Chain A
Amino acid sequence: MAEELRRTGLHDLHVAKGARMVPFAGWEMPVQYPMGVMGEHLHTRSHAGLFDVSHMGQVLVFPKDGKLETAALALESLIPANVLGLTEGRQRYGLFTNDRGGILDDLMFANRGDHYFLVVNAACAEQDIAHLHTLADVDIRPVTDRGLVALQGLEAAAVLTRLVPGVAEMRFMDSRSFDWNGSELWISRSGYTGEDGFEISVPNDRLIAFAEDLLTHPEVAPIGLGARDSLRLEAGMPLYGHDMDQMVTPAEAALGWSIQKIRRTGGARAGGFPGAERILTELADGPAVTRRGLRPEGRAPIREAVTIFAGESGGEPIAQVTSGGFGPSVGGPVAMAMIDPSIPDGTTLYAELRGKRLPVTVTTLPFITPSYKR
């Protein structure tokens, strides 16, 4: 049955800018503007792209006793990351895991002094909030009166500084509040494109005005979901529901780096999160397969669900592409798949496309060099 699609606070602006709107995770979202996916992708890398990410879930987590440590430890019971060690004004990437060690969702969490600010995936938001409500010592407050935009790219900092002086001083993964014409913006220096950039939480009633203000600057173009996907793919970033899901563990998703030493075996707060036993064992011993890059030879994109073989003919499949497509900045196709980690980089494997096996080279991620301001 068709579900009523939700609209973000920027819906009318997207339409006015000529966006092609599509259903996405229960929302009506812009997939591309007249510039086209390729143009939008390249514009973001060389100038600045404005993305509507208001469909993502924003959640505040307050400690009931007023002590931030209480909220940190509560979150650590669901997220295998060092939440307690995250200092005020900083943000970190983390995962919700399940009892089997699979990933329920990936998220960003920021220490905002007396509470944590979480950003979760649109499709998982409802589930994540229910999951957070199982925690006893915290108040969970979904943010319903704010939208979220991302400004990404080489010139993002230069542009945003004109509206919000002070953002240029932020380092990668800083998270702070700023005033913009009397409205409070929650800004983090982060994103999901491999570029320097910002994610900006804006009160709903100022969302269009803020986006329009950004778009008056010639460096800024509106960017749709199409380019958002190709940008993150080139940056080697996994996407929930594609490169990871409830059956994929952190080590398999190559996200072991999001589990800091203190939460691992031998650490001061080791374990204590769902699936800890399997997750920690796998991090120590290495997973059977892990997310790797594939560079197809030739120009044909190798997309999600394409089967990978070791040889040019015969044999059993050894992997499936989890996401793939054309990388406009790379100038060719790029893909990711779950591959045996003992297979060295540079190995040629074969992707079966329309009955033909095409050579693909196993490669390290990402496909582009990120430009974060560390």
Chain B
Amino acid sequence: MKYTDDHEWLRAEGDEIIVGITKHASEQLGDVVFIELPEEGREVEAGEEIVVIESVKAASDITAPVAGVITSVNRDLADNPGNVNEDPMVAWFFRIKPTEDGVLDGFMDEAAYNDLVG
């Protein structure tokens, strides 16, 4: 498992990366009430805002951690956005197939991430 400084978790599976948000992020967001997911098959750039998360308080974005193609999205989340609060490490948002190999190496491991959120 790797982490971005935008509080996303990244899990490699085959040649894809599964993306969700951390417990820390879900706590900061508060109760999530709506999620807008990207279209499958969309080509995205690293840093592109591709998911909108609306909590009772505000709207925020999730960005694509790497450049690639969105291979699937978690449609269940659109119907049950509260799952992000209940189990953020399980409630994934999308799978992305990176354009380049080895892109995960540049991200934080769990210890580094825990240091970040202290």
The chain A residues found within 8 Å of chain B, CB to CB, are: 31-32, 36-39, 41, 226, 230, 298-301, 303, 325-326, 328, 333, 354
Contacts and interface: CB of A to CB of B under 8 A. Distances in A.
Given A37-B31, A38-B31, A226-B30, A303 B56 contact: no
Nearest to B54: A301
A37 B52 contact: no
Interface string B47-86: 0000010111111000000000000000000000100010
Contacts of A328: 31, 56
Contacts of A298: 34
B36 interface: yes
B56 A325 contact: yes
A333 B54 CA distance: 11
Interface in B3-60: 30-31, 33-34, 36, 52, 54-59
Given A299-B81, A300-B36, A301-B59, A326 B30 contact: no
B52 A226 contact: no
Nearest to B52: A354
Contacts of A303: 58-59
A37 B59 contact: no
Nearest to B78: A299
A37 B81 CA distance: 15
A40 to B, nearest CB: 10
Contacts of B54: 299-301, 326
Contacts of A39: 31
A355 to B, nearest CB: 11
Contacts of B59: 301, 303
B34 A326 contact: yes
Contacts of A38: 30-31, 33, 56
A299 B33 contact: yes
8 contacts: A36-B31, A230-B56, A299-B33, A301-B54, A303-B58, A326-B54, A328-B56, A333-B34
Given A300-B36, A326-B56, A333-B33, 11 more contacts: A38-B30, A38-B33, A226-B30, A226-B57, A299-B34, A299-B81, A301-B34, A301-B54, A301-B56, A303-B58, A326-B33
B33 A301 contact: yes
B60 to A, nearest CB: 12
A32 B30 contact: yes
Contacts of A37: 30-31, 55-57
Contacts of B33: 38, 299, 301, 326, 333
Nearest to B35: A299
B44 to A, nearest CB: 16
Contacts of B55: 37
Nearest to B79: A299
Contacts of A301: 33-34, 54, 56, 59
A230 B56 CA distance: 8
Given A32-B30, A36-B31, A326-B34, A226 B56 contact: yes
Contacts of B85: 36
A24 to B, nearest CB: 13
Nearest to A303: B59
A39 B30 CA distance: 10
Contacts of B57: 31, 37, 226
A27 B22 CA distance: 31
Contacts of A354: 36, 52
B34 A36 contact: no
A32 B56 CA distance: 11
Nearest to B34: A299
B86 to A, nearest CB: 12
A181 B7 CA distance: 50
A36 B31 CA distance: 7
A41 B30 CA distance: 13
B33, B52, B81 — which one has the most chain A CB atoms within 10 A of its CB?
A: B33
A229 to B, nearest CB: 9
A325 to B, nearest CB: 6
A39 B55 CA distance: 13
A39 B31 CA distance: 9
Nearest to B28: A20
A230 B34 CA distance: 16
A300 B59 CA distance: 10
A37 to B, nearest CB: 4
Contacts of A226: 30, 56-57
